[in-house]
Amino acid sequence: MGHVLIQHLQKEYVDRRHKRRDADDPNECGINCIRVLDDVNLEFSDGEMVCILGPSGCGKSTMLRIVAGFDREYSGKIFINDKEVRGPSSEHIFVFQHSALLPWMTMRENVALGLRHLKDKELMKAKIQEYIEMVELEGFEDRYPHQLSGGMQRRAELARALAAEPDIMFMDEPFAGLDFLTRMKMREEVVNMHEFIGKTILFVTHDIDDALIMGDRLVVLSGRPSHVKISRRLDFPRPRDFRKEPELSELRNEIFLMLGVNYAV
């Protein structure tokens, strides 16, 4: 189960280096205080692939950390499966923004980290193999992270997260730094993986096409202090093609304008 409810989420950072410039500026909420999230209300169904877009610095990572239970300093309420979030839970897992593989462990050992709780070693071995095969990395089990390409490292991270069999996966810009073709391939892999496991995924990206191609739901946040500009289902058939779905192209132009870019295709 992976139902998520975010009610009246508000977040401010106190930063001693930050100086208030203008008392009327809505970004400023007091001396040394930056308001990042401003009354964010969202609801995601169990199994939804939610893609969260927003300008850089608007608070996407902050929101993910709060929902995952890593940051308790906010106002508002967060519920996962009707239970209020009070800290990180082993039922959810975070896929970090940058490579989270341990460099001194082989790919197989890294994937096994998510399965440490299993007592049955045979079952553990079988599961590790299952997830390595799911991301098409068989044959590379004994390689260390630096011996894998960028795309392979991301797939290994995915296998590690999947092996933990979480209810919800939090993915914070997991495609950052990947070249264009690898990114295309990773989109396909994540969509296939999501179809296969059917778990809720909160996927943060600043790439509009990632969101429109992959999401069951699109969330667009405004600039800081962030509120929700769009939260809507994307019930377009897959594989998605902008040329065949004029509504999808229109939506893309609408989001570009919303994010302050006049870009028509």
Tell me how far apart the alpha carbons of residues 227 and 35 are, in angstroms, rounded to a whole number. Answer: 11
Q: Give which of Mg ion, ligand ADP, none residue 106 binds (C-beta under 5 to 8 Å, depending on kind).
A: none
Tell whether residue 58 is a contact of ligand ADP (CB under 6 A): yes
Per the structure block, which two tokens stand in for 224? 């800081």
Considering only 3, 53, 62, 252, the residue that binds ligand ADP (CB under 6 A) is: 62
Smallest distance from the beta carbon of 162 to Mg ion, in angstroms? 22
Give, rounded to a whole angstrom, the gap between the first and last alpha carbons of the chain.
Answer: 39
Nearer to Mg ion, 114 or 225 (CB): 225
Considering only 10, 27, 32, 61, the residue that binds Mg ion (CB under 5 A) is: 61
Considering only 13, 79, 96, 256, the residue that binds ligand ADP (CB under 6 A) is: 13
Tell whether residue 36 is a contact of ligand ADP (CB under 6 A): yes
Q: Give which of ligand ADP, Mg ion, none residue 26 binds (C-beta under 5 to 8 Å, depending on kind).
A: none
Q: Give which of ligand ADP, Mg ion, none residue 90 binds (C-beta under 5 to 8 Å, depending on kind).
A: none
Q: Give which of Mg ion, ligand ADP, none residue 179 binds (C-beta under 5 to 8 Å, depending on kind).
A: none
- Count of residues in contact with ligand ADP, rule CB under 6 A: 12
**Phi and psi torsions of 64, nearest 5°:** -65, -45
Q: Give which of Mg ion, ligand ADP, none residue 15 binds (C-beta under 5 to 8 Å, depending on kind).
A: ligand ADP
Tell whether residue 99 is a contact of Mg ion (CB under 5 A): no
Smallest distance from the beta carbon of 60 to ligand ADP, in angstroms? 3
Considering only 7, 31, 41, 57, the residue that binds ligand ADP (CB under 6 A) is: 57
Nearer to ligand ADP, 62 or 106 (CB): 62
Smallest distance from the beta carbon of 61 to ligand ADP, in angstroms? 3
Residue nearest to Mg ion (CB): 61
**Phi and psi torsions of 255, nearest 5°:** -70, -40
Smallest distance from the beta carbon of 254 to ligand ADP, in angstroms? 20
Distant-in-sequence contacts of 73-76, Cβ < 8 A, 24+ apart: 73/11, 74/9, 74/10, 74/11, 74/37, 75/8, 75/9, 75/10, 75/11, 76/6, 76/7, 76/8, 76/9, 76/10, 76/39, 76/40
Nearer to ligand ADP, 13 or 236 (CB): 13
Per the structure block, which two tokens stand in for 231? 């939260």
Interior angle at CA 177, CA 150 and CA 246, nearest 5: 110
Q: How far is CA 56 from CA 125, 216, 224, in A?
A: 41, 22, 9
DSSP class of residue 98 equals S
Tell me how far apart the alpha carbons of residues 102 and 33 are, in angstroms, rounded to a whole number. Answer: 36
Which among 127, 99, 122 is positioned nearest to 112, based on CA atoms?
127
Name the pairing type of β-strands 200-204 and 217-221.
unpaired
Contacting residues toward Mg ion, per CB under 5 A = 61
